Structure 1
């Protein structure tokens, strides 16, 4: 017999503690990525780099991240050892991140403050940081498919990870709120001090959770315990022959564009376009992630199937379309309405991210020999597209006359590049993502022994 639950324990729901220990494993990546996308462009322009130079730094990191995900995914599929890759990547992230936000180290050594050297220095450390980040991300995401064959438990693991992503983001914005309140940025040195404290605090908190993850999570044995045909390494070309691979890749790419581009321009928007208080660049993102955290926790209690994945993703996409339209039309004199919009953005982000990542698990099914490649290749598309999108938008930032935004009330809804980045781009990506999702065939996808089980999420 081959279908009994005793003979195939990987189809059984996993326990809450296993979900918890897995969920905290991406906290270091999440808290540093939140700082990266929310404050990097703002930080670099505040210390004197042009918008185009700041975009070059961002792009260098994204390109390094993109290629690192491909190579890391291939190596993990060949040799396994998820936890070793995770630990090594986390160590590299911790060492390099402080150099991204800690000021220009080569400038201090060479006593040279040229813009060219600063741009080169920040680009180099951004690339190193993102290589470590990619190793941690791919190993952590691929583990989902090797921990359990139960689709509902896979969504539970993904939802837990997403919930702790929100915790990491909230932690960052709490740190930022305190730092921005205590240290006033009156000079370039003060600005560097602000972000240095944010970076050090983020690394300390993230590393604590990495230790919890490594101690509480066992190396997945599913790859070893499955039949030989299921655990054999799957060649790349196998995935390229599947229509669902391209559909899931498109949905994941568009979802990451929604989250990353909107996050990158959120601080610019509330400060420059809406001219809200400085605290708003921490409070508005915090509201978004509080709402995302609540929704992510609630999603853990839902029995999942393909139809529900599509329905919840569609709901999140539609909410983002309305939020994007509201941002494009929001005048400065009612800027406080941004707090209400943030609630719906947080809900939409959680719905889209949890379901988009869960679609990867449906695509992989029991074919775990290629799970790291799937995660790595999709992340490659994500990093390249986000880097190029931000580079194009930021390169046109110099042509936006933000100083002329509100000489009178009639000019209070000027459509700046920042507004396009926060409103139009996410709305369009959400629309296309919903359209692609509509044509997916998730019910028949994957090769799980019990696909898309309707059992309770957790024991």
Structure 2
């Protein structure tokens, strides 16, 4: 009997498909609002009259609030547990505050003053509130994955399912946006605000439906077996700082998020301003990216995962993004239709990098479950701050960018072309190089405890 228990600990059973599904839909509200945040926030703010730098300031304020909130959320979740409570509370805050980010400037109406300073401060405050709730939901959901199972393949499968529903969320957003942009014509600032307000309301409704499904189908993880006695002992922060793998995984995760977020933020600008494609392209091109990413995420759920395979698939995605970035940077306006082909490749690369990059966190955590929220929170902190600073830096040069020409020439450079092409390509190159140096050991040889859903 003792041998059976020990064998069960060393070889944890895989998680059932239904449990994987319920877990995977839990980040839908965050994903659909984040897609709107990175795709349309800068476009929306500049369309209503804010300067590129003021728009970037709003984005940066949200990212800074998000970054610090992830740190505090991770510490409190490790200390007190209750993943679902944190997830639910964060989701409520996201749902309440997100519409205000795209809902117009309330203080401007109250004080009858539409100065750029008041508008910037107003949007920045609502952006910060939204991102605090977003961070609590993200950290609780990501760290929960490690406590549902110690099985390395199941963890990757859950990350893959989560990423698949991220694609569903993004597709839902772009379907809503495509309908709104086609049905509602925007001639004034009020019309633009009304368009994005409807996009926000419908996005929140869709996301909340899936969050409800997550809470109904997923139960709070409980620690079933404690090998060394004290299952409640917390893992010190310094424990992670002494691990080389912590820094390697952190760099890879940071670069992966930079690739995804920076490219997403400039995609709509690129297809409209640089390639002069139809207005519908700012919804259609992202939709193609997420359809191909969704398909790859589903396929990845059927693979048996090891550390070497994580490295190989991440490297494949990174190399593919390098080629995509070079193509975007060199693509002339006369060949704008080729962007649809590039979009398919970007979707494949995003799925490969995102699923494996998140799964590397699970390899890092291993069986040290009482520190998993800190790992997710600390890595997300660096991700959020760096993304905010990168976008702020790029937007600061937006007005200085040379005019886009009709054909390739020595002056054929724009901030959007760099943001969508060069920055993701460079980050992918560095990410692949760091991944090559990793030592990922996925088997759980001496797990401290076996979590279970019940």
What TM-score results when the alignment is normalised by the length of structure 1?
0.94
Aligned match of 2:428 = 430
Aligned match of 2:216 = 215
What TM-score results when the alignment is normalised by the length of structure 2?
0.95
Equivalent pair of 1:53/1:119 in contact (CA under 8 Å): yes
Equivalent pair of 1:47/1:191 in contact (CA under 8 Å): yes
Shift of 1:97: 0.2
Equivalent pair of 2:67/2:385 in contact (CA under 8 Å): yes
Q: 1:330-373: CA deviations, max 9, x gaps?
A: 00001010000000000000000000000000000011010000
- CA–CA distance in structure 2, aligned partners of residues 211 and 396 of structure 1: 42
- CA–CA distance in structure 2, aligned partners of residues 348 and 203 of structure 1: 28
Alignment of 1:379-398 (within 5 A): 379-398=380-399
Q: 1:50-89: CA deviations, max 9, x gaps?
A: 0000000000000000000000000000000000000000
Shift of 1:9: 9.6
- CA–CA distance in structure 2, aligned partners of residues 444 and 263 of structure 1: 31
Cα-Cα RMSD: 1.8
Aligned match of 1:454 = none
SS at match of 2:386: helix
SS at match of 1:415: coil
Aligned match of 2:378 = 377
Distance verdict in 2 for CA 1:314–1:9, change over 3 Å: closer
Alignment of 1:171-250 (within 5 A): 171-222=172-223, 227-229=228-230, 231-250=232-251
Alignment of 1:10-409 (within 5 A): 11-222=12-223, 227-229=228-230, 231-401=232-402, 404-406=403-405, 408-409=406-407
- CA–CA distance in structure 2, aligned partners of residues 393 and 7 of structure 1: 52
- CA–CA distance in structure 2, aligned partners of residues 62 and 29 of structure 1: 14
Shift of 1:222: 2.7
SS at match of 1:222: strand
Q: 1:75-116: CA deviations, max 9, x gaps?
A: 000000000000000000000000000111111222211111
**2:439 pairs with 1:441:** yes
Shift of 1:146: 0.5
Aligned match of 1:457 = none
- CA–CA distance in structure 2, aligned partners of residues 38 and 431 of structure 1: 24
- CA–CA distance in structure 1, aligned partners of residues 220 and 362 of structure 2: 18
Q: 1:207-257: CA deviations, max 9, x gaps?
A: 111111011100011377564356521010000000000000000000000
Shift of 1:405: 1.9
- CA–CA distance in structure 1, aligned partners of residues 344 and 328 of structure 2: 13
Decide which moves more: 106-115 or 215-224.
215-224
- CA–CA distance in structure 1, aligned partners of residues 20 and 228 of structure 2: 25
Equivalent pair of 1:365/1:447 in contact (CA under 8 Å): no
Distance verdict in 2 for CA 1:223–1:418, change over 3 Å: farther
Equivalent pair of 1:60/1:127 in contact (CA under 8 Å): yes
Q: Any unmatched runs of 5+ in structure 1?
A: 451-459
Equivalent pair of 1:106/1:121 in contact (CA under 8 Å): yes
Distance verdict in 2 for CA 1:265–1:64, change over 3 Å: same
Decide which moves more: 336-345 or 437-446.
437-446
Distance verdict in 2 for CA 1:3–1:41, change over 3 Å: farther
Equivalent pair of 1:2/1:8 in contact (CA under 8 Å): no
Distance verdict in 2 for CA 1:156–1:226, change over 3 Å: farther
Aligned match of 2:416 = 418
- CA–CA distance in structure 2, aligned partners of residues 175 and 68 of structure 1: 29
- CA–CA distance in structure 1, aligned partners of residues 313 and 3 of structure 2: 33
- CA–CA distance in structure 2, aligned partners of residues 19 and 31 of structure 1: 20
Decide which moves more: 228-237 or 105-114.
228-237
Q: Any unmatched runs of 5+ in structure 2?
A: 449-454
- CA–CA distance in structure 2, aligned partners of residues 447 and 213 of structure 1: 31
Q: 1:119-176: CA deviations, max 9, x gaps?
A: 0000000000000000000000000110001111111111110000000000000000
SS at match of 2:305: coil
Distance verdict in 2 for CA 1:3–1:397, change over 3 Å: farther
Equivalent pair of 2:31/2:170 in contact (CA under 8 Å): yes
Equivalent pair of 1:230/1:367 in contact (CA under 8 Å): no
Q: 1:366-395: CA deviations, max 9, x gaps?
A: 110100000000000100100000000001
